[in-house]
Structure 1
Amino acid sequence: MEITEVRVKLVEDSDDRLQAFCSITFDNSFVVRDLKIIEGNNGPFVAMPSRKRTSHCPRCRCKNHTRASYCNQCGNKLKHPSLQESTDGRSKLYADIAHPINSVSREMIQSGVLKEYKAELARSKKPGYSSRYGEGFSSGNVQPHGPHLDHVKQPLKPERINTQTENNSFGDGIFDC
């Protein structure tokens, strides 16, 4: 497996720890979006795309974010079940959507993304800089291409009915096509 493309979108207000979003393409055939480049205590690192963890309301079984105080559906006050903890003792509020399953893959992704991140930082300092993050990606709102219908005959126009009268009175001919 090879990373064939990395696209980085820098975050404008970099006072926060989040420095950039990126997408990576594997073997010119598979894209993973919404990776985050975060400034950590030991420099930038790559965080995988994630979603908030959820739990079900005991009354209506609706899904709610793990730390929600009340159910989004029925308004029932929620009790927080014991949350899973990470290795550093903090509660796990997010779950990765996609992630590498071994350290070699993680290092390959991290080094490729951070290399492109540094290159994007350098490009951003040049005049006329424009991010290419969204170029060439389909937004998903594109209508599918249908089959070519050249061989299908178009319906014929209805025959024209002559509705004119001899005296050309008011309203004559309004239904003529």
Structure 2
Amino acid sequence: MKITEIKVSLRQKDNGKLLAFANVTFDNAFAVRGIKIIQGINGPFIAMPSRKMTDGTYKDIAHPINAETRLMLEKSILDEYHKALKDGGSKPAETEIPSEEK
């Protein structure tokens, strides 16, 4: 699977932890929108789109199912975030996601 586009929307600096939103398109066929880029203690990280459950917990709507894909996705999104900070916007990026062999 290949990331064919990443769009980053920077948030206004209001001293909050939410830095930006990202939308990611895979293989020009599937999009995940509303990925949050959040400022953490050790730097920015991504939070996948989630829904609040009736018990008050949050469950991801879509997420990587292995660590390798999660790291690659996070790196790709954060790279685009840092480019957007410099450019004031984001250009499409392409990244290959390794597929698991069955």
TM-score, length of structure 2 as denominator length: 0.83
Q: Residue 46 of structure 1 corresponds to which residue in structure 2?
A: 46
More strand by share: 2
Tell me: higher relative CO, structure 1 or 2? Use CA pairs within 8 A at least 6 residues apart.
2
Question: Helix, strand or coil: the match of 1:7?
Answer: strand
2:10 alignment partner in structure 1: 10
Count of residue pairs the alignment pairs up: 91
Moved over 4 A (4+): none
Q: CA deviation at 1:14?
A: 4.1
Residue 101 of structure 1: aligned partner: 65
In structure 2, stretches of 5+ residues that fail to align are: 91-102
* Secondary structure of the structure 2 residue equivalent to 1:20: strand
Matched position secondary structure for 1:106: helix
Deviation at 1:2, TM superposition (A): 1.0
User: RMSD between aligned alpha carbons?
Assistant: 1.6
Q: Secondary structure at the match of 1:121?
A: helix
How many Å separate the matches in 2 of 1:23 and 1:103? 20
Task: Give the % identical residues.
Answer: 50
Distance in 2 separating the partners of 1:98 and 1:30 = 11
User: 2:70 and 2:7 mapped to 1: Cα distance?
Assistant: 17
Q: Which has the higher helix share?
A: 2
User: Deviation of residue 106 (structure 1)?
Assistant: 0.1
User: Which residue matches 1:121?
Assistant: 85
Q: Which residue of 2 aligns with 1:145?
A: none
Deviation digits for residues 81-124 of structure 1 (CA, Å, limit 9, x no counterpart): xxxxxxxxxxxx21100000000110111011001000000012
SS at match of 2:15: coil
